[in-house]
Amino acid sequence: MYNLGDTSFRNQPKFMKESLIPHIIHRVENYLKQHPQEVFTFTFHGGEPLLIDKSFFGKFIRQAETLKELFPETTFEYNVQTNGVLIDDDWAAVLKAYKIFPGVSLDGTKKAHDMYRKDHKENGSYDDVIRGLKLLKRKLGFVSVISVMNLDESAEVTYQHLTDISSDYVNFLLPDYTHDSFPYQPKEMGKWLISLYDLWIQDKNRPIIPFFNGLTNAILGSQKIARHEAHALVIETNGDIEAIDSLKGCGENFTKTSLNVVNNDFEEIMQSPLGKLYFQDSMEKLCTKCLECPVASVCRGGRLVHRHKKENGFNNPSVYCEDMILLISHIQNTMMKLVPSMYDDSISKMDANEIIDYLNTLNFDSIENVYKQDLEFFSEV
Ligand code: SF4
């Protein structure tokens, strides 16, 4: 992940000490006693998690596995999000031993990827990542890619590339911008996404793309609505407990709490305004435009970071608002064409421009929003 303008990572130790592992497991135990889960996932993130000694994974997982006896109804999973550069035979063996299928960051083609992902000598890391991915495909039989969408490369070239490298799973992410940093024109990303979606839906051997799967499920009314990010809690290398990294884009130290796994339970983050909004209220406490929006049940206002503006905190629609209206309408209309039996005659095609025009005619100042104060609590002015 790019550092998003928050430099507080410089004050963190490079690696997590093994002495923190029992504290983390203890906090997970306390959490699961209060909130039983079918699946609980530990994700090794970073920085770059493969920089740590390989034995750390074994020590962590062995201690985490003790939770199985306490919570036999819960499946514990392990995940790694890596830049892929350090993957070698030894790492592949470690990952295989612990049944970890890592997500590897690859932002499309060599041109798109090397634009942002460079080493200390300013060399792009694309070639090393591709070498790592090929190794994983050979050793684990599965390639999972995490890809930040990049409008500097066409959707056609991006999709072809992901097909060429035999990706089984592509976790496409919208770039994390706030209203103070957003560089695109309205609808620019939406048109790119529609091109990508059309290629994907027509591909008989299409990979899993959770971004599209989640939206499709939400449109079809499935309970498996895209969960956004509101289930991930971050533990920094020094044991500090924080909300998700993407919110670092909202400002320096934005995600900091005074909580640490040595002294605090995970639950305690809910006592902070950001923890409560992020974990509990992010899909309900929305700005007036989102509350009035005809596609809100699918979009849910977008990710929190995409709603932020220094001037009024989270009291905004997503920076990708019109893009999402375009895309959601397009997916709905495509589904109506592909599986007409799922729709009755009373449902007509969606017109994205009509929705955008409708929302633009509303006078939001005249509509009371009970969440205004809570959302604007996070403004900086
Ligand atoms: S499409 Fe726009 S207005 Fe509608 S919920 Fe999403 S961000 Fe809000």
SS (H, E, C) 167-208: CCEEEEECCCCCCCCCCCCCCHHHHHHHHHHHHHHHCCCCCE
Where does a domain end: 213, 244, 273?
273
Q: Which atom of ligand 1 is nearest to the CA of 290?
A: 8
The predicted structure's pLDDT at residue 348: 75
Q: Is the CB of 324 under 6 A from ligand 1?
A: yes
Percent of the chain exceeding pLDDT 70 equals 93
Q: What is the pLDDT of residue 3?
A: 45
Identify which has the larger pLDDT, 12 or 109: 109
Is the same domain home to 193 and 317? no
Pair of tokens at residue 16: 């997590």
What pLDDT score does 319 carry? 98
The verdict on the CB of residue 241 being under 6 Å from ligand 1 is: no
- Is residue 214, in this structure, part of any structural domain at all? yes
| Closest residue by CA, ligand 1 atom 8 | 290
* Tens digit of each residue's pLDDT (9 = 90 or more) over 291-301: 999 999 999 99
Whether residue 183 lies inside any domain: the answer is yes
Query: In the predicted model, is pLDDT for residue 86 greater than 50?
Result: yes
- For residue 304, the enclosing domain spans 285-376
Nearest Cα residue to atom 6 of ligand 1: 301
**Residue 190 CB–ligand 1 contact under 6 Å:** no
Contact predicate 193/209, CB 8 Å: no
**pLDDT of 222 higher than 80:** no
Highest mean pLDDT: which of 21-30, 142-151, 248-257?
Answer: 21-30
pLDDT for 114 equals: 85
254/205 same-domain check: yes
- Please indicate whether residue 243, judged by its CB atom, sits closer than 6 Å to ligand 1: no
pLDDT, residue 263, reads 97
184 and 245 in a common domain: yes
β-pairing, 234-235 with 241-242? antiparallel
Q: Looking at the predicted structure, is the pLDDT value of residue 252 above 90?
A: no
Closest C-alpha to ligand 1, atom 3:
290
Q: How confident is the model at residue 153 (pLDDT cuts 50, 70, 90)?
A: very high
Same domain, 115 and 264: yes
Nearest CA to ligand 1 atom 1: 321
252 secondary structure, DSSP code: T
Q: Is the CB of 215 under 6 A from ligand 1?
A: no
Q: Which candidate, 110, 102, 112, places its Cα nearest to that of 81? A: 102
Compute the distance from residue 303 Cα to the ligand 1 centre, in Å: 11
- Indicate whether 1 pLDDT > 50: no
**Ligand 1 pocket: which of 182, 225, 295 to mutate (most atoms within 8 A of CB):** 295
**pLDDT of 165 over the 70 cut:** yes
The CATH number linked to 67 is: 3.20.20.70
> Domain boundary at 244, 273, 302, which?
273
With residue 241 as reference, give the H or E element that holds it.
Answer: strand 241-242
Q: Pairing relation of β-strands 169-173 and 144-148?
A: parallel
Q: Is residue 37 part of a domain?
A: yes
CB 201 within 8 A of CB 224: no
Residue 344: CB atoms within 10 A of its CB come to 7
Decide which of 238, 253, 273 is a domain's last residue.
273
Most confident of 173-187, 266-280, 340-354: 173-187
Ligand 1 atom closest to the CA of 287, numbered from 1: 8
One domain, residues 190 and 42: yes
| pLDDT at position 227 over 60 | no
Other CB atoms within a 10 A radius of the CB of residue 72 amount to: 8
Asked if residue 244 has pLDDT above 80, the reply is: no
Mean pLDDT of 360-367: 92
Q: How far is the CA of 101 from the centre of ligand 1 (A)?
A: 33
Q: What is the pLDDT at residue 6?
A: 58
What's the whole-number mean pLDDT along residues 198-226? 85
Q: For the ranges 25-29, 70-74, 333-337, which has the lowest average pLDDT?
A: 333-337
pLDDT tens, 326-357? 999 999 999 999 888 877 776 778 999 999 99
Helix and strand totals (H; E) in the chain: 16, 7
CB-ligand 1 contact for 218 (6 Å cutoff)? no
Q: Is 57 exposed, middle or buried (0-12, 13-18, 19+ CB in 10 A)?
A: buried
378: which residues sit within 8 A by CB, 6+ positions away?
250, 273, 274, 277, 308, 313, 314
> Ligand 1 center to residue 288 CA distance, Å?
10
Res. 229: pLDDT tops 60 = no
Report the pLDDT averaged over residues 213-224.
80
- Among candidates 329, 327, 338, 350, which has minimal Cα distance to 195? 327
* 288 close to ligand 1 (CB < 6 Angstrom): no
Whether the per-residue pLDDT at 10 is higher than 70: the answer is no
Same domain, 269 and 366: no
What pLDDT score does 220 carry? 83
Q: Kindly state if the Cβ of 350 falls inside 6 Å of ligand 1.
A: no
54 in Cβ contact with 90 (< 8 Å): yes
Q: Residue 175 falls within a domain, yes or no?
A: yes
Query: What atom of ligand 1 comes closest to residue 286's alpha carbon?
Result: 8
Pair (240, 339) in one structural domain: no
Picking from 280, 325, 319, 288, the residue whose alpha carbon sits closest to that of residue 303 is 319
Give the Cα separation of 163 and 276 in Å (integer). Answer: 40
Residues 196 and 305 in one domain: no
293 CB near ligand 1 (under 6 Å): yes
* Pocket residue to mutate for ligand 1, from 282, 283, 314, 318, most atoms within 8 A of Cβ: 318
**Number of domains within the chain:** 2
**Best residue for ligand 1 mutational test, from 290, 305, 355 (most atoms within 8 Å of Cβ):** 290
Residue among 325, 330, 353, 355 whose CB has most ligand 1 atoms within 8 A, to mutate: 325
For residue 318, the CA-to-ligand 1 centroid distance in Å is: 6
Atom of ligand 1 nearest to the CA of 325: 1
pLDDT for 71: 98
